[in-house]
Chain A
């Protein structure tokens, strides 16, 4: 299952240009890479979110595959319904043989996945539908004006967790959704970024190959919400991995594998200082918040390594 760039490059681009994504958006990269591997025999269901809005401005669509949109909290439920209907048709022999292998992919942003859509996602995974759920995680509600979400990291400024004189941005650490999905005991769970294209393509391929539900969480640097130069989105995806903030790992049938272990992890501050959302944390008096961010990341990383060790024993 080795991913080959030449082959990938020759695959049809199923998310066409002309969509309305912002300059420097890494979400469009995520969707293109996802679809290069998934191919045309795919049904995509999407919750409301920035990538849904920018790719399907009525009456246009950037998708060259079947696409179904439903309300914010229902992406996983809607695709559950599509996949179940497919199985029913297949069982009754009403599908032509050449249409018998179809991929079902539900996508949602972090707001639609970590928060409002968690219930329907959990239900779909537990029931065991043969589908892949992809979360594009830009760590806040970017579509409605940068409100905090369960994925927003500690200290980040958002419009509903603003940095000011009383508070210094979000007061909680981010929710570890990937671990929550691992706890559903599904065949495949992974984390990746659009910078690591080979890793992303390999993981999509594996996720679509398993018999049962799969989940991939993809970090999506957002120039609008994170406040950075539009040229450096992919660099920030790479640095999120090099600082251990966003480790590349996968869990196959409960067995952890960390796909990349930075030899000399960069300090969190290197990644954070390039983003306006953390600007206030570098003011005198907020050192403890920078330390807390680093400590949390270190703790999560150690925990991940222990999980890898214990599940491979």
Chain B
């Protein structure tokens, strides 16, 4: 397999191309613009299309149009631009259209800055747009996963006819690492049953999210809810490191999980039994895995690049059975290993000495 040194943002386009995506619509924003640059360079050369929209609103609705034809399509942005896409995403989820959207999370609120954050967790996982919908959300922590999880996201989006999101912090987007270029895979889905592609076979189909009669809209919502329950049961992804005997389980995703990973062995050398539980899907959240650990004598520490968002899901999963602490940096600040070790010591005071 060919290997290449590249930015996480570029790896997203490598994954998209391998997944058979040939339609990209985007709008400039730092620190996500490299995704559009790579798409502009590679999509037209591979008989695909790249269009720079006049706004984020236009970009997500172009995606809506292409997805409505049953064609794999995507868009990418960063926090303020992702906010602009929310109305479109709600319509896409309502009309049950598969697509991949990428959010390279930067500092907020407002214009904030272009440094990394994870403060869009609520917006992405709880539904930034209106109505009863969910975004399947995957959180890569390196360039290889930016590629691989993008491929996975296309598959999940098609399988469940729902938008899937890659949520990565600015560091994971900008960081350069070696990426194994995957083989291109065929698109195994036939969308003639619902897509509208201008052929007689699809003339009876309708792409819409308007359901005026309350009884029917309730039924539509319950159908979506059943789908979301199925996704929650089947598609949770997470990773654990040294959690079996851990007294302290650190829950972290994205670039923070990389920093935590590097501190686990150091903590153990000091006699602190620390482990890492890393959600790979943020929605559905790995609540069952966390709940299983909470049943024994253990503490949790959620570490995030926010003032405390994912920690709420950790607390819901733990359901009061174990203490849950939080440590966060924000505004583009990223914790260092020594800083985290200090937090572990504080949290484990009394636990370590016993």
Contacts and interface: CB of A to CB of B under 8 A. Distances in A.
B34 to A, nearest CB: 8
A48 interface: yes
Contacts of B29: 144
A72 B52 contact: no
A313 B28 CA distance: 45
A160 B111 contact: no
Interface residues of A, number: 23
A116 B111 contact: no
B45 interface: yes
Contact of A147 (B36, B55, B80, B84): B36
B33 A159 contact: yes
A256 interface: no
Contact of B40 (A118, A143, A159): A159
Nearest to A117: B55
A174 interface: no
A147 B28 contact: yes
A147 B44 contact: no
Contacts of A148: 52
Interface in A109-127: 111, 115-116, 118
Given A72-B80, A141-B28, A145-B30, A160 B37 contact: yes
B213 interface: no
Interface stretch (A19-27, A161-169, A233-241): A161-169
A166 B45 contact: yes
Contacts of A69: 111
A160 B55 contact: no
Contacts of A48: 111
Contact of A160 (B52, B54, B80): B52
B30 A144 contact: yes
A95 interface: no
A203 B36 CA distance: 38
A199 interface: no
Contacts of A162: 37, 40-41
Contacts of B228: none
A159 B37 contact: yes
The majority secondary structure among interface residues of chain A is: loop
Contacts of A242: none
Interface residues of B, number: 21
B50 interface: yes
A88 to B, nearest CB: 25
Contacts of A150: 54
Contacts of A73: 55, 84
Interface centre among A69, A111, A159, A164 (most CB of B within 10 A): A159
Contacts of B45: 164, 166
A71 to B, nearest CB: 7
A192 B30 CA distance: 30
A116 B54 contact: yes
Contacts of B44: 166-167
A160 B40 contact: yes
Interface in A14-44: none
A150 B36 CA distance: 17
Nearest to B51: A160
A147 B33 CA distance: 9
Interface centre among B27, B28, B37, B110 (most CB of A within 10 A): B28
A109 to B, nearest CB: 11
Nearest to A159: B37
Contacts of B52: 147-148, 160-161
Nearest to A141: B28
Given A73-B55, A116-B54, A145 B33 contact: yes
Interface string B128-160: 000000000000000000000000000000000
B111 A71 contact: yes
Interface in B1-45: 26-30, 33, 36-37, 40-41, 44-45
B23 to A, nearest CB: 15
Nearest to A116: B55
A202 to B, nearest CB: 32
Contacts of B54: 115-116, 118, 150
Interface string A82-120: 000000000000000000000000000001000110100
Contacts of B56: 116
Residue among B26, B40, B56, B110 having the largest count of chain A Cβ atoms under 10 Å: B40
A225 to B, nearest CB: 12
A226 to B, nearest CB: 17
A216 to B, nearest CB: 22
A150 B111 CA distance: 23
A162 B50 CA distance: 12
Interface string B77-117: 00010001000000000000000000000000011000000
Nearest to B110: A71
A161 B111 contact: no
Contacts of B110: 71
A194 to B, nearest CB: 24
Contacts of A118: 54
A143 to B, nearest CB: 8
A141 B110 CA distance: 20
18 contacts: A116-B54, A116-B55, A143-B30, A144-B29, A144-B30, A145-B28, A145-B33, A145-B37, A147-B28, A147-B37, A148-B52, A159-B33, A159-B37, A160-B28, A160-B40, A160-B50, A166-B44, A167-B44
Given A116-B54, A161-B52, 11 more contacts: A48-B111, A71-B110, A141-B28, A143-B30, A145-B28, A160-B26, A160-B37, A160-B52, A161-B40, A162-B37, A162-B40
Interface of A: 48, 69, 71-73, 111, 115-116, 118, 141, 143-145, 147-148, 150, 159-162, 164, 166-167
- What are the nearest 9 A-B pairs in CB distance? A147-B28, A144-B28, A116-B55, A115-B54, A160-B40, A141-B28, A159-B37, A160-B52, A145-B33
